[in-house]
Homo-oligomer: A and B are copies of this chain.
């Protein structure tokens, strides 16, 4: 099955794509930036850089530290972070439906040549 990969280039700069959104989803699920990064095979530092980049793009945090507990220092998404995930996944699904015919036409040419 062919798929699409969507990236939204925001103004004045910075983009949101499937990599950053998947990181946010994993932070929400795992309650930790380092665990989320690890699940994606990236270093803690890289995961933090991506979060910081989103914070910069939107001018405020997409994730925040969660106080204490035994393990200390978890993280969760802010309302903004959840909004970014929801809107991006909606955009992806809508785009995929909207261009299904074009994608199928290109895939047909692959099958024909195969």
Show the binding face of A for B, using Cβ within 8 Å: 1-11, 14-17, 57-60, 80, 83-84, 87-88, 90-91, 94-95, 97-99, 102-103, 105-107, 109-110, 112-114
- Given known A4-B8, A8-B4, contact A109–B94 (CB-CB < 8 A): no
Q: Is the CB of A87 within 8 A of B102?
A: yes
Counting from the closest, the 6 A-B pairs by CB-CB distance are A59-B113, A98-B98, A91-B102, A95-B95, A5-B7, A91-B99
A97: chain B residues at CB < 8 Å are: 98
Copies, count: 2
> Given the complex of chains A and B, what is the CA–CA distance between A95 and B96 in angstroms?
8
Q: Which residue of B lies closest to A59 (CB)?
A: B113
